[in-house]
A and B are shown apart, each in its own frame.
Chain A
Amino acid sequence: MNMKRILLSCLLVSLFSCLPVWSQTKLTAEQQKEIVAKVDKGASAMTQMQCEFSQTKSMKLLSKEMQSKGVMYLKKPDKLRWQYTSPYDYTFIMNGDKVQIKSTKSTKNIDVQGNKMFRQITNIILNSVTGGTLKSSNDFTVEIYKADAAYYAKLLPKKKELKQLYQYLEIWFNPALTMVSSVKMVEKTGDVTVVKLTNTKIGVAVDEKLFAIH
């Protein structure tokens, strides 16, 4: 019996040692500064963009995933259209201090200035897709990691309101650090949402009408 256990242990150890190890390294303060500067350079150069996105939310209580997808349009400094097309229609439009939320059943206009919580959330969305969050150190403590060829920023909330929502956020960049490739949000409850940006087009003319709020 003991021999069997030893053999089983050896087998497990050798099996796991054969698995590829996903290496990630936390960058030093100096390296981090360099990466933030590169991301910021890319973000500053980008004035408008559009992309498709897929969103997967893993729900701890239900042990299941909810998947949705859509399109996103951005025009700096403060215009964003985040539109879900499947499995439901839902559009979030931000235009300056105004936000419009449209679903099949209702349309709601919100003045972001009058709603601190909403202002923080819209800032997170906007800055996450551009990478701008790395510089705004008021909301998060930023740690940058290198994982194989890619870099990602781990954002740890500083403020009470954000701590109540998120454990942390991860913003993943393409290897050239020119654009955000995905955003992972880990909620306080353990639910995880991953948004992947694909087919990203930077610099294409985005129609102003897409941000119109009526």
Chain B
Amino acid sequence: MAQEAGDSVVSREYNLLMQVKGQELTSICMMNISPDGSIVGTVVNEMGMKAFDFTYNHGKAKVLNVVAFLDKWYIRRVLRRDLAYILPKLEPDQECHYKRRWITYTFTPMNNETD
């Protein structure tokens, strides 16, 4: 699923589980990573509906095109801060857990899914 290449754009796909106050939300997170480390990505649910897009550049994350029911300033702020923390740490081929203040994120590479 993921394409790794020396100095070209790298594509990665993860199953993403977000746990918020006992609620669980599964989705697919896809991203393109440029050789300079900048990232563009999108989070969609398994049925294809977009939750939000994001970009990451020089340590800063932006959250774009947030689906209407999640499009609140405080949600965008939490996501922006969490993504800025998580994205540079993501491993391409192993499951990663990140417990942040409100949300626990689990990224599972789609070609390496574990239960």
Using CB atoms and an 8 Å cutoff, list the residues of chain A in contact with chain B: 55, 57, 59, 61-62, 64, 66, 68, 82, 84, 87-88, 90, 92, 103-106, 108, 117, 121, 161, 164-165, 185, 187, 189, 191, 193
In contact, B53 and A61 (Cβ under 8 angstroms):
yes
Interface residues in B86-115 by Cβ distance below 8 A to A read 106, 110, 113, 115
Select A165's contact among B13, B26, B28, B49, beta carbons within 8 Å: B49
In contact, A55 and B48 (Cβ under 8 angstroms):
yes
Q: How many A-B residue pairs have CB under 8 A?
A: 78
Contacts of B1 in A (CB 8 A): 87
Consensus secondary structure, chain B interface: strand
Contacts of B30 in A (CB 8 A): 59, 62, 64, 66
A-B contacts, 20 of them at CB < 8 A, read A57-B44, A61-B42, A61-B53, A62-B30, A62-B32, A62-B41, A62-B42, A64-B30, A66-B13, A66-B30, A66-B44, A84-B47, A92-B47, A104-B15, A105-B24, A106-B26, A121-B49, A189-B53, A191-B50, A193-B48
Name the CB-closest residue of A to B27.
A103
- Distance in Å: Cβ of A91 to nearest Cβ of chain B: 9
In contact, B28 and A105 (Cβ under 8 angstroms):
no
Interface residues in B1-46 by Cβ distance below 8 A to A read 1, 11, 13, 15, 17, 24, 26, 28, 30-32, 40-42, 44, 46
Please, how many angstroms separate the alpha-carbon atoms of A87 and B115 in the complex? 15
In contact, B46 and A104 (Cβ under 8 angstroms):
no
